[in-house]
Amino acid sequence: MTVHPTWVFDQTPIPDPHGRGERAVKFFRALKHPKSNAPRRAFELAPFWERILRRIYGPSDANGDREVRTVFIQIPRGARKTTFGAALSLLHSCGHEKVPGGACILAASAEDQAELAFDEARAFVKATAPLDKATYVVESELELEHVASGSTLKAIPAEGDVQQGKTPYFVLIDELHVWKNRRLWRALKSGLLKVPNTLLVIITTAGRGQDNLGFEEYSYAKKVASGEIVNPSYLPIIFEPPAKFDWRDEKVWHAVNPGLKYGFPDIKGMRQAASEAADKPADREDFCCYNLNQWIDAASSPFVSMDVYDEGNKSVDLDALTSRPCWLAVDLSSNTDLSVVSAAWPDDDAGYDTWSWFFCPRANLRERENKTGAPYSQWVADGLITATEGNVIDFEQIQATIEQLCERFNVQEIAFDPYMARMMQARLLEKGLPVIDFRQVPSLMMPALSELERAIIARRFRHGGHPVLRFCFANAEVERNKQQHAVRFHKSKRWLSIDGAVATAMAISRAAAGESQGSFLDNPAITADMLVV
C-alpha cells in the first residue's frame, strides 16, 4: 500500500473558497531571507512546499474555518523543513493568521534545536523590513512579539513546559521522532482544544523503533493517508520509499526527496554518502533513515530483524499450555529497569511458545515515559506490566507471581540470574520449587542467544505480539565475538529496557537443554568454535 502524496505534484485544483491559501502563499513570497540567492533576498518557495501550503489553508467551510487542524509532514533531511516551519510560525504570529494576544509555540527536541528553529524565524524578521518594524524580539527568551496585536512566538525545548496561563493556537513540532517528553506533548495537544481554528503542524524525518511518540503519530498518519481512517481534519504528507527498494537507486532518492530537482539536498553529497555507506552497514541504515526517510525498526546493532521477529505474532493460548512442560526464567532489576518472569514452552517442531510478566515501580512510570517515549502508563492499564507501589520494585509480588505460575503450569525449572535474587531463591527452594542459577555470563548467554536466534529466524518463536517484550527486543543490541557469535545483550541508554529479551533467552536455553535431557552442549545449534573463549 502506498501513501505517497501524489497530489503534491499532479497540479490538481486545491479548493480555496475564501482565498486563505492564496493569502498564505503571498505572505511567504513577501518574506526575505538573508541566505536566499534570489533577487533582493526574496524567499524561494519551492513548488512542492507551495502546494502543501495551499492544501493546509485553502479548504475551508462556509464560515471560513480551515478544514485542516493537524498536519503531519515526514520528509528527509535537507528539504528545508526548518525554514518552512519558521515561515509558518510567522504567518500565525505576525501574518494574516495571527489573533490578538495569541500564543504560537515552536517546540523542538532539545534546547539547541529550539534555538536553531527560532534563529530561522528571527532571520526572516530581520531581513523583512515590515516584520522587523512590527515585532519586538527577546533574544534571551527565544520569543518575539507582534506589538500591535500582542501575538507571540516562543521556541521551547521538548524537556520544557508550556508557559502557565497561555493557551497556544498554533504549535509547530520539530523532529517528533526524537521526542521523549509525553507530558509536554499532551499539554500542547490539549491546549489546542481550548480555542477554535487552531493548527498543529508536525515536521519530522523518519526515526527508529516503534515504542515512541514519533512512530505512534507516523502510524496514525499512514492510516489516514491510506484511507483506513477517515479524518478530513488531519493532513498526512509522508515521503518514504516502498517496502522493498534499492537504496542506491537515484530514482528512489528523487521520489522521496521532492527538493532534489531544485538543488536541495545536494545530489553530489548524497552520492558521496551512499558510496561510503556501501561498505558500512550502520552508515547505510542511517542513509536509509535520514536521507530516504525509511522508518528503521531496530536498535543500531540489532539482534535480529524486527520484521522477522514480528512474524512470531501468532496467538499464544496460555490456557492450552497448562499441561506442557514449562521453563521459567527470572531477571530481577533495580528501579530503572523492568523485572520480568519469562516462560518458554517447547513444541515438537523445535519451536517455542513464550510469554512474559513484567514489573516496575508505580512511582517512576511518568519518568520512564519521558525518558524513553514508551507508553508505560498504557501498558499498566492494559495489564501488560504490574506496577508495584512505591519507588522500588516489590519482590514479594514477583515471588507470589512465580508461585502462581508454578501452580498453573507444569514448571520444570525456574532459572535465576542470582544477582539480587538470593533471598527469593532461598524462599522458593524452601517451598520445594525447582530453582537453579543461570548467570548472565558469555559462556551461558552465548548458547542461549544462539538458540533464541535460531528459533526466531526459523519462524519457530511465538510471542503473541506482547508489546512490552517487543520493546525489549527492539532495544536489545548485541555484542559479538570474533567468530560473530552473539555473546551478550546490551542497551545504548540507561532507561531502555532489554530485560524481557534477556529472560526469554534464558528460558529458551533451559527449555532446549531440558527437552534434550542433557546440557546445552547437546544442543545441535552449538558448534565447537563457539566454546572457544
The DSSP-derived string for 370-436 is HHH---HHHHHHTTSEEEESSSS--HHHHHHHHHHHHHHSEEEEEEE--TTTHHHHHHHHHTT--EE
> What is the rounded CA–CA span in Å between residue 489 and residue 187?
36
Residue 445 CB contacts under 8 Å (≥ 6 apart), including other chains: 487, 488, 489, 505
Residues 6, 9, 15, 16, Cα dihedral to 10°: 140
The grid coordinates listed for 417 are: 540470574
Side chain identity at residue 255, one-letter code: A
Helices within 15-97 (DSSP H only): 20-30, 47-57, 81-93
Domains of the chain by start residue, with CATH = 64-238 (3.40.50.300), 306-531 (3.30.420.240)
pLDDT number for residue 526: 43
> What is the rounded CA–CA span in Å between residue 282 and residue 132?
45
The grid coordinates listed for 422 are: 538470593
Instruction: Give the residue ranges of the chain where pLDDT is below 70.
Output: 1-2, 160-166, 211, 281-282, 297-302, 482-484, 492-494, 515-533
pLDDT number for residue 282: 67
**Which residue has 524513553 as its cell numbers?**
372
Residue 317 buriedness (CB in 10 A; 0-12 / 13-18 / 19+)? exposed
Please name which of 368, 359, 361 lies closest in space to residue 389, comparing C-alpha atoms: 361
pTM above 0.85, yes or no: no
Strand, helix or coil at 104?
strand
pLDDT number for residue 325: 96
Helices within 306-394 (DSSP H only): 306-310, 365-372, 376-381
Contact 65, 17 (CB under 8 A): no
**Which residue has 520493546 as its cell numbers?**
471
Q: Which helix (H) or strand (E) holds 282?
A: helix 281-286
pLDDT number for residue 525: 43
CA atoms within 13 A on the CB side of 295: 22
**Percentage of the chain exceeding pLDDT 70:** 92
Please name which of 123, 104, 127 lies closest in space to residue 115, comparing C-alpha atoms: 123
Report the sign of the C-alpha dihedral through residues 158, 160, 163, 164, in that order.
Answer: positive
> Nearest 5°: CA angle at 470, between 465 and 472?
155
